[in-house]
Structure 1
Amino acid sequence: MKKRSSGILLHISSLPGDYGIGDFGKGAYDFIDFLEHSGQCYWQILPIGITGYGDSPYQSFSAYAGNPYFIDLNELIQLGYLDRKQVEKADLGNHKHKIDYKKLYDYKMPLLKEAYENAKIKLRHELDRFLQAEGDWLENFALYMALKGFNGNQSWTNWTEGYENKGTEAALAFQKTHESEIYFWIFTQYFFFKQWFALKAVANSKNIQIIGDLPIYVAEDSADVWAHPEYFKLDAKRRPTCVAGCPPDAFSATGQLWGNPIYDWHYMAQNAFKWWINRIDYSLNLFDMIRIDHFRGFDAYWEIPYGDLTAENGKWVKGPGIKLFEAIQKELGDVNIIAEDLGFLTESVIELRKATGFPGMKVLEFAFDTREESDYLPHNFDKDCIAYTGTHDNDTIMGWMDHVMKSDREFAVEYLKLDKHEGYNWGFIRGIWSSTAYLAIAQMQDFLGLDSKARMNTPSTLGGNWVYRISDRDLTKGLSEQIKHMTKLYGRL
């Protein structure tokens, strides 16, 4: 039921903790307590998949597998699979507000492998049961990751000839002779999901719903493309014929080249969209609500020739449209989905979102353009939308105030009645908390009043993204009381 409520956006990786990155340990449970004490109903996170080059959660080795970096090492210590002194000696990074992904790769992954070696005999029956329960995706993923390690951690497109698909003789032979390497990846997923569902159960018991994030595309370097090439536009050598991105606009003269393979929507339609139905069904088991990134790609997507260095030579191609969501609704019933409908929208995209019944997004940082009237201004909201101060791709509010054009900043100050005494960040939060949107969400960085150094991601850049973390000292009683007061004041408690 869509009741008036609010929540906080903070990714798992950004939680406080002792082991270099936010995880499913004490920091996560403390944050749930903070949400409860702050009167919040929702915790929104980013994709929780295993990340690759660039560390982006939107480029994962699997549409299903979880990120082993999020496994709480303390549980492995308590179970006797790791020695605490050994863990404490590992250099996982000691910066309280930044993640060092190289150190996690160099030191946390070996710790997980050590834990597996110590647990594999005792847990073998449990791992077999888990593999049987998770079926096709887990078997493909574990084999893919073991083969990836065998091939110098390169993308499958650069592997030794003979391993280019799961059904080759070489791949089948590898599966028989490298069981331990394959079961290590089953072990990581076993503990990832065991800890995730325990965390989610506690959140739900405190009436906190979790909003997950579903990227529209999967990475070329993924078990999904390797194991099921038939679902993607690939050539005879299984290389993409085209890739995804965004066209040139005011923010990027050459557009955005994401590089993800494009779905073969014709083939998917012939198969009753089973791949997408399974993915949505699986995600709704993991989360209480899901946000689908780049929703406009279901109406029409920007298709770029494979090998191009920019997105300039792309073209718009019609997507599956309402037929996909009719198939999902037929199989799964009404689904709890947020449509990420930001950016330039055509009438057909707007019509598609309305036809699905999914609420769209309103981002307040996009509202203050003195050149034109904006749909993101709160007086233009309807009730059936999700209002944000900003998303993970936006600057923090304080950073935005520092870098935006003077005329737009003055517009925001006048419209929201901002003043330094209250704090510009709190004025922005008040702007969406007081709006008609049934759900209002702000980044944790904005509640803390942080500048651009705390920004999570700057689109079209590589390096320095996805690294921000809060510390346990940030989650004060005073801050939770301030959030709760505003939440109660505007009828969202």
Structure 2
Amino acid sequence: MLNTRGCGILLHPTSLPGPGGIGALGADARSFIDLLHAMGMSYWQVLPLAPPAFGNSPYSAFSAFGGNPLLIDLEQLAREGDLAPASHQDTFSGNRVDFGAVTAEKTALLRKAGEVFLAQPESDRAVEFRMFCNSTPWLHDYARFMALKRRYNGAVWNQWPNGETDAVCDRPTIELAHEIALQEYLQWQFFRQWSALRRYANARGIAIIGDIPIFVAYDSAEVWSHRELFLLDDHGNPTVVAGVPPDYFSATGQLWGNPLYDWDALEKTGYRWWIARFRAARELFDIVRVDHFRGFEAAWQVPAQAQTAREGVWVKGPGERLFDMLHKALGPLPIIAEDLGVITPEVLALRDRYNFPGMKILQFAFDDKLDDRDLPHNHVKHGIVYTGTHDNNTTKGWYGSLSEAERREMHAYLGTSGRDGVGDLIRAALMSVADTAIMPFQDVLHLGSEARMNIPGTAHGNWEWRFSWDMLPCNLALSFRGQLERYSRTAKGGICQ
């Protein structure tokens, strides 16, 4: 994959239209795949599918392995008999996800469906459920973790009573057996629905590009159950946390707060946890974008008590030792290296050693305060060009924020009149020598800043945007397919190999 000219759309499933206040893995997701197929697309790129924690961000999740139950299609649960059809009438409207209201209402319905299912232990589907539970190594720890979080009203795990912070303690498993089974049911439904959707996409020639955040949240099943693999003190608190140093985007850097890995401890296990993580990602996706790839070469470590990221230092990561072990265990990995930010020759050497394609962002190319590595004449064939990412403004919003001098330089470079700044950037992506072009769906729809997905460094109001079918021009598929044909990016039928 990614070695022939193709094009894809970046859209997280939560942004899909449909009932229930949030996108789901049902009929509207299949209609979106049909649209991609009609447009001539080869790829659908999504953000992490994990259950979001702080700020509803898919990059801060309760699990590195689990799926987001809010994406489960309730219509399928009703068809299977776990929900009464009348029990999930839609009460939401608008093009924003109200995560508080959606989580409360949909979680209640999902739990109701789980209760119905678990009351029928001899059904045919119960056999499938037990097989999933028995063959999913991470599931029991995750289900126990979520059951305990529910018992303690969502408190962070290091605030639980003594004894229950211990992942090897059996008492919670016995006391919370029913709740654990409910959590396992939700994961089973998520993964069976996602697997069916991925098969539907693949059958229409659409490969799924997923996303792995390099770091995991402190309040996650993985840190709770594998404390020995992270840099924590004797009380389970982080000694250092992740971030990035000061740069053009932030005078104080970005303090992410994720715990950092104890790479020495991981190496002693043969990187078993990372092998399991990439194996799980390969079962979910056809291709995986690795967020903050540079952290494998060196990560910015900030003392846990620091107020800003200024106080951090670069500390070497495992580099080729990890990727050699991954290659040995799993074979060649279909990875996109997110190589944005502070990138050194050592990071590029690690990326190129394994022939991982990197990323170019066209919005960065025409900001006169940045370097020109993202300009189209610096693109390479084995690479991915984006108009923007989930962290960028929409291209329409970005274009509106440019100075007149920046706009003039962009139009002079591209040889355009400036009547359609969004269309100019999309065409620049399609014309690029890079084999793969990806654009957020907001750019395809020419939407403004109101449709932005995320503003880095802000805690509220992100990840909420959704589209509706009436936003689509009636000739979208035909007109976009024409552009892809012009630049030899139309899907050739079947998944590109």
Indicate the TM-score class for this superposition, using the shorter chain for normalisation: over 0.9
Write out per-residue CA displacement over residues 231-263 of structure 1, whole angstroms, 9 at most, x where no aligned residue: 101111111111101111121111111111000
Paired residue type of 2:106: K
Distance 1:372 1:263, change over 3 A: closer
Whole-Å separation in 2 of the counterparts to 1:392 and 1:434: 22
TM-score by length of 1: 0.96
Query: For 2:310, what is the secondary structure of its paired residue?
Result: coil
Match of 1:266 in 2: 264
Query: For 1:54, what is the secondary structure of its paired residue?
Result: helix
Correspondent of 1:481 among 478, 481, 490: 478
Q: CA deviation at 1:425?
A: 1.2
Match of 1:490 in 2: 487
Match of 1:407 in 2: 405
Write out per-residue CA displacement over residues 283-305 of structure 1, whole angstroms, 9 at most, x where no aligned residue: 01110000000001011110011
Paired residue type of 1:152: N
Write out per-residue CA displacement over residues 349-395 of structure 1, whole angstroms, 9 at most, x where no aligned residue: 11111112100000000001335651100111110110000000001
Whole-Å separation in 2 of the counterparts to 1:15 and 1:372: 33
Q: CA deviation at 1:309?
A: 2.5
Whole-Å separation in 1 of the counterparts to 2:369 and 2:459: 31
Match of 1:427 in 2: 424
Match of 1:94 in 2: 93
Q: CA deviation at 1:444?
A: 0.3
Q: Does the Cα contact within 8 Å between 2:243 and 2:255 map onto a contact in 1?
A: yes
Correspondent of 2:129 among 127, 130, 133: 127
**In angstroms, what is the RMSD of aligned CA positions?**
1.3
Q: CA deviation at 1:406?
A: 2.9
Q: Does the Cα contact within 8 Å between 2:411 and 2:418 map onto a contact in 1?
A: no
Q: CA deviation at 1:431?
A: 0.1
Match of 2:294 in 1: 296
Query: For 1:212, what is the secondary structure of its paired residue?
Result: strand
Q: CA deviation at 1:157?
A: 1.3
Write out per-residue CA displacement over residues 88-123 of structure 1, whole angstroms, 9 at most, x where no aligned residue: 16x4x321x100000112111011111111111225
Whole-Å separation in 2 of the counterparts to 1:372 and 1:121: 60
Q: How does 1:160-309 map to 2 (within 5 A)?
A: 160-168=161-169, 172-309=170-307
Q: CA deviation at 1:162?
A: 1.4
Whole-Å separation in 1 of the counterparts to 2:352 and 2:225: 35
TM-score by length of 2: 0.95
Match of 1:64 in 2: 65
Whole-Å separation in 2 of the counterparts to 1:362 and 1:472: 30
Whole-Å separation in 2 of the counterparts to 1:263 and 1:397: 36
Match of 1:36 in 2: 37
1:159 paired with 2:160, answer: yes
Q: Does the Cα contact within 8 Å between 1:142 and 1:186 map onto a contact in 2?
A: yes
Q: CA deviation at 1:449?
A: 0.6
Write out per-residue CA displacement over residues 169-189 of structure 1, whole angstroms, 9 at most, x where no aligned residue: xxx112112211111110100
Whole-Å separation in 2 of the counterparts to 1:372 and 1:272: 40
Q: CA deviation at 1:420?
A: 5.3
Identity among equivalent positions (%) equals: 43
Match of 1:451 in 2: 448
Q: CA deviation at 1:125?
A: 3.9
Paired residue type of 1:484: R
Whole-Å separation in 2 of the counterparts to 1:373 and 1:229: 40
Match of 1:9 in 2: 10
Correspondent of 1:347 among 342, 345, 348: 345
Match of 1:73 in 2: 74
Q: CA deviation at 1:341?
A: 0.0
Whole-Å separation in 1 of the counterparts to 2:330 and 2:80: 38
Whole-Å separation in 2 of the counterparts to 1:259 and 1:483: 41
Question: Comparing 73-82 with 21-30, which one deviates more in the overlay?
Answer: 73-82
Paired residue type of 1:167: V
Distance 1:242 1:372, change over 3 A: closer
Match of 1:148 in 2: 149
* Consecutive unaligned residues in structure 2, runs of 5 or more: 491-497
Paired residue type of 2:99: Y
Query: For 2:311, what is the secondary structure of its paired residue?
Result: coil
**Larger RCO, structures 1/2 (Cα 8 Å, 6+ apart):** 2
Match of 2:101 in 1: 103
Query: For 1:259, what is the secondary structure of its paired residue?
Result: strand
Whole-Å separation in 2 of the counterparts to 1:19 and 1:32: 20
Q: Does the Cα contact within 8 Å between 1:417 and 1:427 map onto a contact in 2?
A: no
Q: Does the Cα contact within 8 Å between 1:370 and 1:407 map onto a contact in 2?
A: no
* Consecutive unaligned residues in structure 1, runs of 5 or more: none
Q: Does the Cα contact within 8 Å between 1:142 and 1:182 map onto a contact in 2?
A: yes
Match of 1:55 in 2: 56
Q: CA deviation at 1:308?
A: 2.1
Give the number of aligned pairs. Answer: 485
1:442 paired with 2:469, answer: no
